[in-house]
Structure 1
């Protein structure tokens, strides 16, 4: 029977909800059981048992869904986990998890470019979508193509196919979703070949001289060329680049100078070929689509990028949530008897980090997570490979020694390690326009954050190195790839980023693996070909003897 004092203690903790230390908010821990040894030993035992029983699926993946959080490096992932726990559950957050952190398989990916230690989104997208490392700022081309080299980008052997093209060749339906422009770097690698990721419209290409005249801008490649013109689903922002702005705007990002309306061209192509289609620009129009009887969907929900989740018009006349786009896309693509490939980019995570707006970035991650959660309810992971990853990291850090449960967007008020004695934010940036130091003649001085609301979406944390606005820089560390479904266990160590494309193709028997030969490594490490259904000991990636040792260990722990 539970004692009265314990009941009162729990009730008091729940009623308090938040504890305030000076100017900082500290969320409570979910359980006092953490103080005892049994809690952690039980957790460890459960994780071992889960790992030992983890199934290994070796059947062909009928479907593949790649979720890519742009800029969602390890630090952003951790901060988002904490933010989720604090926002949604009112607890400290460190002990929680994002949905993909429960996936059975994980690997780390090296994100460097051929010519840069720290990469951009175009070259990394070329790696995970085409299986080829590339040079900085180039998209969909191999390393023989240097930045701005239009002639080299036209050479056929320099133009690797993407996983979406491989899927189309296998008679699968394909599509992509992004919260940025549909011509932006990440998604562009799925269909375009360009020596400059910024060549999204003809106007920007002309600035680089007559040598670019032989190349198509990225928007035209989406509408006119294979595989883009065969995508069954295309959703994101980018009406301006497509030559069809919905309203007058003052910002000129990439207005077309050739007068082309590529949305009209897309519609004409479908009508000329007797195809059913839907072109939508609002949530209301998106929700009205009959996915059973609509073959092609083009959704453009922003003249440039889609708005941040914190700023989005959530009415039916506004822009849809990313999970609403995913729902419509999967419902449409599931009509294919041969399966599908869907690429989903949470692109505004990256944009929020570039303007050093942590709250916007973390909200984008949680919206992205909702899309992943919804997708998992709509597909069978015994026939669908789901991969969640990032393209690169950012220079945001989780630093200092904040108390457990400290508001991840808040401040640390007391730290004996800080020489000036001033409070500081847990999240800071290595680079960014938040650089704000001065010299008073004796010492370097930074702002006093006492009384400042650092949890506001517009708050800009301190940065160590100054940049122009919107130019906070990427981080160069490895990123994680989380996977569930057929052949997810192929993510198992530190890999090149190109490994992602290879795993997806291998699992779905497309592209280089279209003949569906399954290679397997035996105990002698000699590659052989076997019936994939006869694999043994693959559930843990351990040899039989090691499995025996682990099973015995678990039995001992259970006594």
Structure 2
């Protein structure tokens, strides 16, 4: 062998991707034409059997994945499948199987790329607003306290509409209960970060007339009348208990708003429960408690990958939803509940895909739990996002490649270094150097890119935690009464109008619709992936441990395979020999 070939082979080994798992496809027949023809027919038949449910919605449940753009959902779907040991691309998130969907334009009135406060105002009130503002219309600019106090500039939301109609209401979030998305349900503020009194006091004399968001939750309607409030945010409420937590918005007035909330309920002759741990939640008698407040973090609820799963720790979002539904389903008039997977966004802002996607899949479990608890003939369920992020999926990784893994695309990448499938256009992962003649990026050989704190490469540097949002459309999925009204590209504010019309509340109280009791086929919603309908396939997998694959599919041999750097070296040598 020529010495040059040996030298280049060694170089290939040095830059080859680190050893990683390649997950197999779960479908033994997918290489055959008949598999895809059968799959297509089944999906077409499902579509043909769908009927519009025009009933009045007794209940409305909104699931909001903060920052859950299309790329995040695709990557989350793959991760979910790979957690089961198969390739993942063919997997489904539960809302992928919903009967109706559309796209939403997310811009703020004054920004092409939005923030979470103004987007939440849009999908909860039906009115678009300006960047960083909460619960106010476009006449209010960020930090303009005087304009925000004008009643004509304040907007009402579906929370108020539901309460006016006699419905029980609640909110669940993995962020602070005073954070942008939940705040838009009940607060009117020109600046989303005026969560406690201190943040207003430091703003200057022009801001003093405004009330902080935490006080609005406890003192004002409609926040004061919510039956369920679960999330993080003890610090803003003056009820912090963690000595070593970051001080972001500590109260200066010395008030404990949780205690005041409890006293207010007692003065009304109502029962209340304040929860701080998983055991508190599990031991709660939701059937006999009027008001429930659970704050499971001084700031946010811990990330799913960090969460203390013991009884003394913090609950899974699925457990929060289950308890909330037990309480709200007591209402004869129905209920409105918003559930936010808030920390998807935070993982993205720090450029840490694993953290973000674990949050996404946790929220998906909560949606699945909800489908077991409600009747879709009387409950509208909407799943959407407020905005996207600038994470992208790139390269040409093999089918089943670890979604957090690396690929080596020799044909297109001029520096011949491996790179991750998931990367960012902005973020703290910016890491380039100049050697005097060319730009150099890190060699990921031997690096554990699957770790929860791994930060992939970014094109533009930001301060830690400041990766930016993305401005593209986000998806909206719906099932239940009037779900078919999501059918094309809509303004984000349209979501509130659909929810209000479906339930005949708010601007749409004049609502006389005939009962439509058609049993829409929802069976397909529960399937774990799009290909999992063929009885023969199911039997084959169950009977043979999922390790039988069709002709020509030896590459997917039924168990995760290890992709070794040695194979890359061999490939390099073969190519070089041919060239030589």
How far 1:396 moved relative to its partner?
Answer: 0.2
**SS of 2:170's equivalent?**
strand
Q: Give a deviation string over 1:488-529, Cα, whole Å, max 9, x none.
A: 0000000000111000000000000011156xxxxxxxxxxx
Does the Cα contact within 8 Å between 1:409 and 1:427 map onto a contact in 2?
yes
Residue 477 (structure 2) aligns with: 482
Residue 546 (structure 1) aligns with: none
**SS of 2:412's equivalent?**
coil
How far 1:40 moved relative to its partner?
Answer: 1.1
Q: Distance in 1 between matches of 2:245 and 2:208?
A: 28
Q: Distance in 2 between matches of 1:55 and 1:113?
A: 35
Q: Distance in 2 between matches of 1:235 and 1:227?
A: 16
Give yes or no for the alignment of 1:294 onto 2:289. yes
Determine which of 37, 60, 64 is the counterpart of 2:60: 64
Determine which of 145, 156, 165 is the counterpart of 1:150: 145
1:13-92 alignment to 2 at 5 Å? 23-87=19-83, 89-92=84-87
Q: Give a deviation string over 1:308-354, Cα, whole Å, max 9, x none.
A: 00000000000000001000000000000000000000001000110
Residue 456 (structure 2) aligns with: 461
How far 1:415 moved relative to its partner?
Answer: 3.2
Determine which of 323, 329, 346 is the counterpart of 1:351: 346
Residue 493 (structure 1) aligns with: 488
How far 1:22 moved relative to its partner?
Answer: 5.9
Determine which of 67, 89, 95 is the counterpart of 1:94: 89
How far 1:249 moved relative to its partner?
Answer: 2.8
Give yes or no for the alignment of 1:168 onto 2:144. no
Q: Distance in 1 between matches of 2:230 and 2:509?
A: 28
TM-score between the two structures when normalised by the length of structure 1: 0.89
1:338-377 alignment to 2 at 5 Å? 338-377=333-372
Determine which of 387, 390, 396 is the counterpart of 1:392: 387
Residue 334 (structure 1) aligns with: 329
1:153-232 alignment to 2 at 5 Å? 153-232=148-227
Q: Distance in 1 between matches of 2:82 and 2:17?
A: 16
Does the Cα contact within 8 Å between 1:23 and 1:411 map onto a contact in 2?
no
Q: How many residues align?
A: 505
Q: Distance in 2 between matches of 1:267 and 1:534?
A: 42
Does the Cα contact within 8 Å between 2:55 and 2:517 map onto a contact in 1?
no
Higher relative CO (Cα under 8 Å, sequence separation at least 6) belongs to: 2
Residue 549 (structure 2) aligns with: none
**SS of 2:320's equivalent?**
helix
Determine which of 414, 419, 437 is the counterpart of 1:419: 414
Q: Distance in 2 between matches of 1:534 and 1:335?
A: 23
Residue 119 (structure 2) aligns with: 124
Does the Cα contact within 8 Å between 2:161 and 2:505 map onto a contact in 1?
yes
Give ranges in structure 1 of 5+ residues lacking alignment: 1-19, 519-530, 540-559
Q: Distance in 2 between matches of 1:534 and 1:80?
A: 35
Closer, same or farther: CA 22–304 of 1 in aligned 2, 3 Å: closer
How far 1:182 moved relative to its partner?
Answer: 0.4
Give ranges in structure 2 of 5+ residues lacking alignment: 1-15, 523-580
How far 1:246 moved relative to its partner?
Answer: 1.7
Residue 7 (structure 2) aligns with: none
How far 1:534 moved relative to its partner?
Answer: 11
Q: Distance in 1 between matches of 2:178 and 2:27?
A: 47
Residue 7 (structure 1) aligns with: none
TM-score between the two structures when normalised by the length of structure 2: 0.85
Does the Cα contact within 8 Å between 2:377 and 2:517 map onto a contact in 1?
no
Closer, same or farther: CA 77–464 of 1 in aligned 2, 3 Å: same
Closer, same or farther: CA 370–289 of 1 in aligned 2, 3 Å: same
Give yes or no for the alignment of 1:271 onto 2:266. yes
Residue 131 (structure 2) aligns with: 136
Does the Cα contact within 8 Å between 1:24 and 1:412 map onto a contact in 2?
no
1:237-276 alignment to 2 at 5 Å? 237-276=232-271
How far 1:360 moved relative to its partner?
Answer: 0.7
Does the Cα contact within 8 Å between 1:154 and 1:215 map onto a contact in 2?
yes
Deviates more, 1:71-80 or 1:250-259: 250-259
How far 1:86 moved relative to its partner?
Answer: 0.5
Q: Distance in 2 between matches of 1:269 and 1:442?
A: 69
Does the Cα contact within 8 Å between 1:277 and 1:295 map onto a contact in 2?
yes
Determine which of 397, 400, 405 is the counterpart of 1:405: 400
Q: Give a deviation string over 1:146-185, Cα, whole Å, max 9, x none.
A: 0000010011111110101000000000010000000000
Q: Distance in 1 between matches of 2:263 and 2:376?
A: 37
Q: Distance in 2 between matches of 1:170 and 1:151?
A: 31
Residue 374 (structure 2) aligns with: 379
The CA RMSD over aligned residues, in Å, is 1.6
